Chain A
Amino acid sequence: MKVELKNISKSFGENHVLEGVDLTVEPGEVHSLVGENGAGKSTLMNIFTGLLKSDGGEILVDGKAVHYSGPLDAEQHGISFIHQEMNNFAEMSVVDNMFLSKELRTKFGLMDQKTMIKQANHYLGELGSNIDVLAPIGSLTVGNQQMIEIAKSLMTNAKVIIMDEPTAALTGNEIKQLFEVVNKLRAKGVSFIYISHRMEEIFKIADRVTVMRDGVSVATYKVADVAMKQLVHDMVGRDIGSFYPDRNPKIGKVALEAKHLKENGVFDDINFEVHDGEILGFSGLMGAGRTEIMRAIFGIDKLTSGEILLDGKKVSIHTPEQAIRHNIGFLTEDRKDEGLILEDSIYNNIALPSIEGFKKHGLIDDKTIDDFVKMLMKRLTVKAMGADVSAGSLSGGNQQKVVLAKWVGSGARVLILDEPTRGVDVGAKREIYELMNELTDRNVAIIMISSDLPEVLSMSDRIAVVYEGRITGVVDAKGATQDMVMTLATGGTVNATSR
């Protein structure tokens, strides 16, 4: 099936998000869509699938114009959308989620559970997956949830599958699996629109790539004929040089030390230290316990035993409030549930952790907060119509920048960043790295959890690797290799441990 989007435009009030976008997808093609945060990629796909109404332009399927009256119409045309943030009913089983509002019935009008299970297994089997379809969907890994989304698309007989940043939360292995499935379906004539900020993936999986900037499509290339540098230039409108800035750390005394941290059944005997001005990377497979260690240090989860020392002094932290008082900041990996108050303004979101510091005679000083928020938004180049719009109306990457802004603004001396560049475009990634350098120059200690190996290797000074709830090694980033980290992350040993 061939689809064409022609001259699509869309505004939200005075915010002109799309101003004449063209996109053509051939049958059996993987067509990548790239662009900065807020360029309009998700909005374009929302229009393509009938979730939003365009202000102008047309959608052609096999040469014929289509008009939607709702999202189910797009499905009928064989178009299916796997969203940036998946919306599942966590407590419901896989099969119930798959057949939600499409339940099969027996001739007596009752639910035909047997056939539904059979079909669910069939579609998942086609993808080479053997997920238990009776398990609650919330208990599955993000990778498996994605497989289910794809199986759902197959169920509706999709000919075009849209994936919006599908790999943002996947492990290396899961990404491999996903690509195998994409290749399998491509061979059967299914086409994909693949949105990602990870440039290397585009070169691995896509046939063609379209670059969007500020609401227009600037260029379409065959992937084989284009260099990464060109793509980045088209996206950002300038050259950004290398992806990673140089690090010239001035490492000082120990800022935070963890001793024998333990949380029953989650992690055990965790020992590490991070110094002033240092970036300590935390690597490991998804589910190894990296996030859980940091949550416990920050007082979100309870430690079973162990000690935390700040500047050599033992501290007791049982709530985030206490952690913040000890000048610790924590950018959580889950920005929708724990990072942001989506309905609230950017202004309130950024000011919240710092709010106690803005009191003057017991009242908060709006003017100072206003300057503070605007300064941070500018520093992090948050793209928004103003500080008073709701955080939820921002594009995914810009939401991430708002969460980062609130923690940078909190004046933390020890800053824990869990996947800080998730969903962030290449240009902004580089800006975040530079910001991290600037913070460590000011003596801030940074702990960075990241599943992006090149990022960990390039930005860390040392790397702690976690495997099944234990630290299997701490290596100097200089001289560390991807292989070395992966070996430790899968339970092996290497002999280049540091300090």
Chain B
Amino acid sequence: MQQVDNETPKKKFDFKQIISKMGTVIALLILVLVVTIANPGFLQPDNLLNLLRQTSINAIIAFGMTFVILTGGIDLSVGSILAFTGAVTASTIGSGTPAWLAILFGLLLGALFGCLNGFIIAYGKAAAFIATLATMTIFRGATYVFTDGNPISSNALNNSFLFQYVGRGYLFGIPFPIIIMVVAFLIWFVVLNKTAFGRKTYALGGNERAAFVAGVNTNKTTILIYTISGLMASLAGMILTSRLSSAQPDAGTSYEMDAIAAVVLGGTSLAGGKGRITGTLVGALIIGTLNNGMNLLGISSFYQQIVKGVVILIAVLLDRKKNKA
């Protein structure tokens, strides 16, 4: 037993602890190894860039989802927000609005929808699962009403350099969505680890009552967190719409599941209070590698789903075991 001094006791090299901390990274490396052995083409720079670009949309949604899950909540409405904001931005550009303005509008709309989720959950004291299940349905329905069930595309959309650049451009030879993903990661990493808001997020998930008594404005924090999630969903919506050069009314369906899976694979506890955004990035990469690898190996998409489910299950079970020990 030691009294706390100004020096923390020296930690011995602890193999077990390293394994448990780096578990997801190790899983990713093993996965990469397996896929590479099966098909060395996997490591081609073109394929790796392709993989990262495919991952970016899920990762961006999952960053927002990380905040939500850290508070012990969940956001099922992200896929619908993605679709609706994508459709609105595409149609606004189609009607002659400058692309930057339309994109800004789409992002604000996403943030607003997220804010609405947060408002219902904070002040309505509704369970996040039920509240966002309801808004997921509402936002999806609104998308179908808005688009009349048809894809939105136009010459204006195809000719807007800025809008095309979002999903299809390259910066220094790197696809632009990857750049967006990295920048978003850095921003949210700093927010989560280096700001008072980040600490409050953890506190809220750890023990809401204790956080409240310690002066955390729990309602405001909750609303902000769902706003972030909505904003990230609409950002993903911009990228997807740009890549496809059209807004699909059923875009983003079941994207919430991949985002939740990335967060959980990354080691964030669904009970809240514990987790890291770095883990989420790794989790998203694992899912991306699985998808990309199985495509390379020519595995049918039916089997792909089974494999993905099994991998998530294994990861979660391993995580439970780790927490118990």
Q: Which residues of A contact B (CB under 8 A)?
A: 14-17, 38, 214-215, 298, 300, 319-321, 323-325, 330, 332, 337-344, 348, 351-353, 355-356, 358-359, 362-364, 366, 374, 377-378, 381-388, 406
In the assembled complex, how far is the CB of residue A72 from the closest CB belonging to chain B, in whole angstroms? Answer: 19
Interface hit among B83-91, B209-217, B286-294: B209-217
Q: Assuming A337-B207, A352-B216, is B8 touching A344 (CB within 8 A)?
A: no
Name A343's contact: one of B12, B213, B215, B274 (CB within 8 Å): B274
B176-198 with Cβ < 8 A to chain A: 190, 194-196
Which residue of chain B is the closest to A325 with respect to CB atoms? B215
Is B124 on the interface with A (CB-CB < 8 A)?
no
Closest B residue by C-beta to A384 = B4
- Rounded to whole angstroms, the CA-CA distance of A1 and B12 in the bound complex is 44
Known A300-B213, A341-B210, A353-B215: A364·B195 in contact at CB below 8 Å = yes
Q: What are 28 contact pairs spanning A and B, CB under 8 A?
A: A14-B12, A16-B1, A319-B217, A320-B213, A321-B215, A323-B215, A324-B214, A338-B209, A341-B206, A342-B207, A343-B273, A343-B274, A344-B206, A352-B211, A352-B215, A353-B215, A355-B196, A355-B199, A362-B195, A364-B196, A378-B6, A381-B3, A384-B4, A385-B2, A386-B9, A387-B8, A388-B8, A406-B214
Contacting pair B4 A386 (CB below 8 A):
yes
B8 and A337 contact, CB distance less than 8 A = no
B74 in the interface, Cβ–Cβ < 8 Å? no
- Quote the shortest CB–CB distance from A425 to chain B (angstroms): 14
B214 touches A352 (CB 8 A): yes
Most chain B beta carbons < 10 A, residue from A339, A341, A384: A341
B81 at the interface (CB under 8 A from A): no
Across the interface, which residues of B come within 8 angstroms of A15, CB to CB?
1
Top 7 closest A-B pairs, CB basis? A341-B206, A324-B215, A341-B207, A352-B214, A363-B194, A355-B196, A353-B214
Map CB proximity to A onto B1-36 as digits: 1 under 8 Å, 0 otherwise: 111111011001000000000000000000000000
From residue A490, how far is it (CB to closest CB) to chain B in Å?
Answer: 31
- The answer to the question of B166 belonging to the interface, with a C-beta cut-off of 8 Å to chain A, is no
Give every chain A residue within 8 A of B202 (Cβ-Cβ): 341, 344, 348
**Residues in A neighbouring B1, C-beta threshold 8 A:** 15-17, 38, 214-215, 383
Across the interface, do B210 and A338 meet the contact criterion of CB distance under 8 Å?
yes
A337–B210 touching, CB < 8 Å: yes
Q: Are B199 and A352 in contact (CB under 8 A)?
A: yes
For residue A387, which residue of chain B has the nearest CB? Answer: B4
Q: In the complex, A154→B35 CA distance in Å?
A: 62
Are the C-beta atoms of B3 and A352 separated by less than 8 Å? Answer: no
Q: Knowing that A364-B199, A374-B4, A384-B4 are A-B contacts, what are 4 other residue pairs whose CB atoms are under 8 Å apart, sorted by A's residue number? A: A343-B273, A344-B203, A359-B196, A385-B4
Residues of chain B with a CB closer than 8 A to A377's CB: 4
Say yes or no: A385-B199 contact (C-beta < 8 A), given A17-B1, A332-B213, A378-B4: no
A residues in contact with B53, CB < 8 Å: none
- CB neighbours of B217 from chain A (8 A): 319, 321
Q: How far is the CA of A377 from the CA of B8 in the complex (A)?
A: 12
* Nearest chain A CB to B319 CB, angstrom units: 15
Pair B200/A383 contact, Cβ less than 8 Å: no
Report how far A16 CA is from B2 CA in the complex, Å. 9
Expressed in whole angstroms, the Cα–Cα distance for A387 and B8 within the complex equals 8
